[in-house]
Structure 1
Amino acid sequence: MYYNMDGYYSQLFRADSLNDKLVEAMKAERHDRVKYQRMMEMTTDPAVIKQIKFAYDDEIKHYGMFQQIYYQLTGVKLDFPIPTNIEKYNTLMEAVQSSIEGESEAVDLYREIFALMTNKQMRDKVFEIITDEQEHFGRFIYLYSMLK
């Protein structure tokens, strides 16, 4: 017996897809926190550090929020190790350019996650993360103009 797109198999597919995207999001948040720490170590300028630290501080909050959502959906608590294979940049400007792209990609992924969710409280958390990432994008654009 086959079901239409609103049937049981569709719901299973949507759940698997959502879980996979949540795992991807958690790994990305872990990665970016380490990347931003390294970026702050590349400069002594307090104005630049302040902009990067804003995103750095949010990454751990986002990781925890995604962890909580994943647990609520699956009953499984995931905790990914801090990655060690972070790309290296020759200049802070290269890292900022990469971060602009990364924040944009994160917003796209998190919008996909948002679209797959049906629980209002979980959607609200993801919406908060999306708006934070959009702010990071703006701050990195500002940094790019500062450094240019």
Structure 2
Amino acid sequence: MKSNPVMAIGDVAARFGLAPHVLRHWEAMGLLAPARAEGDRRRYGRDDLYRIAVILRAREAGIGLEDLRQMLTTTDPAARRELLHRHREDLVRRIAAAQAQLDLLDCALTCDHEDFSSCRHFQAMLTERVEQAAAPSAVPVGQ
């Protein structure tokens, strides 16, 4: 790749596995601002490719397009940090939940019991959820 390639929307979309209309939507939202060439055709340079990579990574992290637009366009560093902190805390929670799910699967995979759900070790990993469900504040089954 050249140091500053100039690419058409179809080429950029294909490189990232996107439909061209997605890039147009992001542009309409103010997330992208590709240069224009003859016939008002969009031309994407290296900086645009990095911006697209940022958008995709942020989306993978669960950041909505509107929050992402605010993060990328604000001139207030404190506002940007507040949004980033909020999304970081959310991502940390989701990672912890995913890790607990992975631990549960690993436990089931390594269990020697015929029915892993009756294994004490497996059940111990679910104790917190069972206790939450059995708490008086829990909504009764069927309601």
TM-score (ref. length: structure 2) = 0.29
Higher strand proportion, which one? 2
Structure with the bigger RCO (C-alpha within 8 Å, sep 6+) is 1
Higher helix proportion, which one? 1
Q: Which has the larger radius of gyration?
A: 2
